[in-house]
Structures are given as C-alpha cells and as structure tokens.
Amino acid sequence: MMAPSPVPPAHAADRAAGWEHGPAELAPGVHVAPDGLRLQFSRSGGPGGQNVNKLNTKAELWVALSQMRGLSAAALQRLRRLAGRRLTAADELHLSEENQRSQQANRQEVFRRLRDLILAAQVQPKRRRRTRPTAASRRRRLESKRRRSQLKAQRHANDLA
C-alpha cells in the first residue's frame, strides 16, 4: 500500500491556474498560489539576548495580491487601503515580525497578522444613511445658542457699566 502524499493533490482548476501543489489558504476562503508567497528569515533586533546575534529569527512575508483568490474586487481594494505603506510598488503586501524569540513564533505571528488584515478587508462597511435633525433637536440647539448669546451679551453690558 502506498503512503499518503504529504502535499494534497492539486485540483484541475488549480493546475490550470499554475498551482501545481495547490493553493495556500491565508484566511477562510482566501487562497494564494505557492509562487505568490515569499517568506524570508534574517537576523532580528528583538528580544533574545545572545540568540539574536546567532539565529535568523526575524520573519518577513511578501504576498502578491494579484495571486490571491477568494477576495472580491471591493475587498481587495479595502485590503490595499488597509495595507498602507506595507504595499510595495510590485503590488505585494510586505509584513515582518521580530518581536518573538524564535523563528517559528515570528512566522506564526506574521501569518496571523496577514489573516487579520484579510478578515478586516472582507468586512463590508455599512453605508451611512443620511438623516435630518428632528424639529425638537433643532429647537433645542437654537434655544441653547440663544441662551449662550444672552449670557455673553450680559457680560458685555456689565463691562460697559
């Protein structure tokens, strides 16, 4: 009997899209082609004492937004806006993490932050419904302005007397 493959087989649609080993799931329903992800490790300046000088614990992740599948066009726009200066000129999202002592913890944290960004981008903001102030609120506002005006006028009258 043959041992199960550690890499799940790619579906026909994945192979057609150039995803031989299948897409990587970044968030529920959001995938990226394996060549759309780039993970790199380097020396960190964070906590770790002597460890910092010896090991590559800083994790940097680049995700090509053009390779993402499962996000609507509006959600992709929101993701670009949320990314801010983390969006590169090559339309890649660049995240880095170096606060943890281990490479694995920094790697998990950078993927968690990416997931949080994607989930935030998927939330469609509610449209603001324009409302008019009620007659009572207009009356209260004008009455408050009138009282304030009278108070200031009395101060001025007291200064002249």
Instruction: Give SS3 for 87.
Output: strand
Architecture of domain 18-125: 2-Layer Sandwich (3.30)
Express each pLDDT in 32-68 by its tens digit: 888 888 888 888 775 666 766 677 878 888 998 888 8
pLDDT at 145: 97
Q: For the segment 70-110, what is each residue's pLDDT rounded down to a tens digit? A: 889 999 999 999 988 988 899 888 998 888 878 888 889 99
Torsion of CA 11, 13, 18, 22, to 10 degrees: -30
Are the C-beta atoms of residues 52 and 46 closer than 8 Å to each other? Answer: yes
- Report helix, strand or coil for 94: strand
Sketch the domain layout of the chain as residue ranges.
Answer: 18-125
pTM over 0.85: no
Q: Measured between alpha carbons, how far is 84 from 120 in angstroms, rounded to an integer?
A: 14
Per-residue tokens: 45:
């300046």
Q: Which residues lie across from 37 on neighbouring strands?
A: 63
Torsional sign, CA 135, 141, 142, 143:
positive
CB atoms within 10 A of CB 155: 9
pLDDT tens digits, one per residue of 112-138? 999 999 999 999 989 999 999 999 999
Say if CB 75 and CB 121 are below 8 A apart: yes
* Range 155-161 average pLDDT: 73
Q: Whole-angstrom Cα distance, residue 136 to residue 150?
A: 21
